[in-house]
Chains A and B, each alone.
Chain A
Amino acid sequence: MVPTPLAGPWSLDIVTSDAALRKLLHGLPGVDQVGAEARAAALATRSIKREAKMWALEMAIAMIDLTTLEGSDTPGKVAAMCAKARRPDPADPEVPPVAAVCVYPDLVGAAIGHLAGSPVAVASVATAFPSGRASMKVKLADVRDALDAGAQEIDMVIDRGAFLSGRYGQVYEEVRAVREAAGSALLKVILETGELATYDNVQRAAWLAMLAGADFVKTSTGKVAPASTRPVAVVLLAAARDFLHASGRRVGVKVAGGIRTAKEAIAYLVIARETAGEDWLSPTALRIGASTLLNDLLMQRAKQLTGVYSGRDHFSID
């Protein structure tokens, strides 16, 4: 039985005030913490072998937002990353390109030229990433800056302080404003679940972002521990599934931060398949924000193809 807190034709009119949002978000069915953790743990033990593993590895590669978000980033590093994004394994053209590269707004320009003519999108973090502590004016300028440089996807952060103090209307308006500023660009809303304290809050933040027009809800900035966890992915994917039932609009989920091994990535694929359904097994509905993960996926793929365990010396360092 899928809970449908928003039965009937979808209308944004009902969620314009703090009070209405509070009523809606606090009316969502509570998340069973023990159940979500047990479910995530059980799904993570599922064994994926042979053809299914090969499929999962290549799907995970195609879902990656290859990310570099360091203060020490340079145009050179971004160029190298773009080359890797287009063709992850130079020795094997069968490996699909990743979904996108994810950089700071000032490096969008550096990335865009290297990805021309490729299916790889350029995503930019914006709105005073990672803290989100700036005025709305600055946040919107940040977004426009990234879009002007050519970004096709925007990863915004929500104001966790406002969310945790119950100022849902403010968070909603911020996401709405960025949604409008972003235009046709894909909008991913970073909830920073590591700062939200409870799964109920994660679910509320996800609904809030989805109501406000997010194309993706994303777990973390990668700057806060814990980053993406499997139970949080269960909660987000369940919320995305319920939102589809309630509104008819599919929202994707992006897990990011701390995902370094193929095994973990495949666990997220299993969770997506079992929680939200097969439709989420696509780069249009599930993304993985990562950098070192790509090499592990390539190594595991090589293991599947050659039968021997591969070594990291055989792949480019990133």
Chain B
Amino acid sequence: MSEPTGRAEVRRTCKLFVGGAFPRSESGRSYVVSAADGTPLANAALASRKDARDAVVAARGALFGWAGATAYNRGQVLYRVAEMLEGRRAQLAAEVGLAEGLRPAAARRAVDASVDRLVWYAGWADKVAQVLGASNPVAGPYFNFSVPEPTGVVVVLAPQKSSLLGLVSVLAPVVVTGNTAVVVASEDRPVPAVSFAEALATGDVPAGVVNVLTGRTAELAPVLAGHMDVDGIDITGAPYRAREELERLAAANLKRVLALDDVPETQPTLRRTRAFVEIKTVWHPVGT
């Protein structure tokens, strides 16, 4: 409890972020989120499988526009999100500090790293094709190109420990190439993810490109892994014992599955970006 100031505190409702809106859970459920030291922090929405379904519908609806946007535009949008985060650094640092039990300086470093990482991936938007694509030599009068294209709707189970840097590190590489995402935030540390969603909403991210669910990973992950309208899933945030089952469910419609153990705390890489693009190769006759 803060010191009495004679003013009624205005508390924030931690809601979901689906299709550009902030709904409560369809189920009406919520759960108590505690700080690292055990004190209750907030009531977060406890998303149900129907919220997960709605999020996939929103992500599918946004895919055409986002995948069709120019790479330059996508980069600018992500950069804009970084701008929004920059202005919320103090709030985010306080939330990350409480959620992860970090000292203020360490929390600030985590937030700064998150913003920087977003900018790093934003810069890749119009450079990915040069690195992952190729102009291939062929034995005939053809140009032969390989170009990366987005996989589609990608579910991201965000890391459980690193509440903001982890989230940004798994989300940014997915959406930068034109995928749309349904993110399941860290189960016990969702508050920074909710704030991140609020930054997304005030950035220029089109509705539905990123959808953030808070709740039980064990409840939401199987629904999303089995969903036939999801094209890929990053199961970083799932416990090891659940991974085999998630991969089995994901195989039903041949989802791309990424199961990297580490979240790059120090240096971001293109591995996660590479995991959720499809390489399309086209032949084009020379001289026409």
Contact = CB atoms under 8 A, between A and B. Distances in A.
B228 A314 contact: yes
Interface stretch (A68-76, A212-220, A304-312): A304-312
Interface of B: 53, 56, 60, 223, 226-230, 249, 252-253
A310 B57 CA distance: 11
Nearest to A308: B226
Contacts of B227: 308-309, 311
Contacts of A309: 53, 56, 223, 226-229
A13 interface: no
B75 to A, nearest CB: 29
Interface string A248-261: 00000000000000
Nearest to A302: B228
Given A307-B226, A309-B227, A314-B228, 13 more contacts: A302-B228, A308-B223, A308-B226, A308-B227, A308-B228, A309-B56, A309-B226, A309-B229, A310-B229, A311-B229, A311-B253, A312-B229, A313-B228
A308 B53 contact: no
A308 B56 contact: no
Contacts of A310: 228-229
Nearest to A310: B228
Contacts of A308: 223, 226-228, 249, 252
Interface residues of A, number: 9
List the 9 closest A-B pairs by CB distance, nearest first.
Answer: A311-B229, A308-B226, A311-B228, A309-B227, A310-B228, A309-B53, A314-B228, A308-B228, A309-B228
Interface in A260-310: 302, 307-310
A309 B230 CA distance: 9
19 contacts: A302-B228, A308-B223, A308-B252, A309-B56, A309-B223, A309-B226, A309-B227, A309-B228, A309-B229, A310-B228, A310-B229, A311-B227, A311-B229, A311-B230, A311-B253, A312-B60, A313-B228, A313-B229, A314-B228
B233 to A, nearest CB: 13
Interface of A: 302, 307-314
A313 B223 CA distance: 18
Question: Would you call the interface of chain A mostly helix, strand, loop, or mixed?
Answer: loop
A215 B87 CA distance: 65
Nearest to A312: B229
Contacts of A307: 226
A313 B230 CA distance: 10
Contacts of A313: 228-229
Interface centre among A310, A311, A312, A313 (most CB of B within 10 A): A311
A86 B113 CA distance: 59
Contacts of A314: 228
A114 B252 CA distance: 34
A308 B252 CA distance: 10
B64 to A, nearest CB: 12
A307 B227 CA distance: 9
A307 B223 CA distance: 9
A171 to B, nearest CB: 42
A21 to B, nearest CB: 47
A312 B61 CA distance: 12
A297 to B, nearest CB: 16
Interface centre among B53, B227, B229, B252 (most CB of A within 10 A): B229
A50 to B, nearest CB: 15
A312 B59 CA distance: 13
A310 to B, nearest CB: 5
Contacts of B253: 311
Nearest to B230: A311
A120 to B, nearest CB: 28
A92 to B, nearest CB: 15
A303 to B, nearest CB: 9
A286 to B, nearest CB: 27
Nearest to B57: A309
B226 to A, nearest CB: 4
Contacts of B228: 302, 308-311, 313-314
A308 B226 CA distance: 6
Contacts of B249: 308
A307 to B, nearest CB: 7
